[in-house]
Amino acid sequence: MEDEKIKVRVTESGQLVEVLVLSKRVDRIQVLLGANPDSVRCQLLLTPNGQAYAGSIMGREIVYERSRKEVQADLEQTRQVRRKPRRL
């Protein structure tokens, strides 16, 4: 199974940064920024309007610009792929 990566926006600079997804649920996404001993975990929580996920890493806000519906569709698609029977 491949590691899932997503792009988040650093609101201060507008820069897009690729992060590793550790866990993904409709209400929160846990990500890892960096791939070395200095890597940092962050929880992205659903914004009140449901249009994005936001969190903070080392005092800087990051935003995953996908809605709750889009993330839910992604999760359902992933579940369907996992359920497909394997042929021997």
User: Could you say which DSSP state residue 38 is in?
Assistant: T
pLDDT per position as a tens digit, 66-79: 999 999 999 998 88
- Chain mean pLDDT for the chain: 90
pLDDT tier for residue 82 given thresholds of 50, 70 and 90: low
% of the chain with per-residue pLDDT over 70: 90
Q: Are 34 and 12 in contact (CB under 8 A)?
A: no
Q: Are 69 and 46 in contact (CB under 8 A)?
A: no
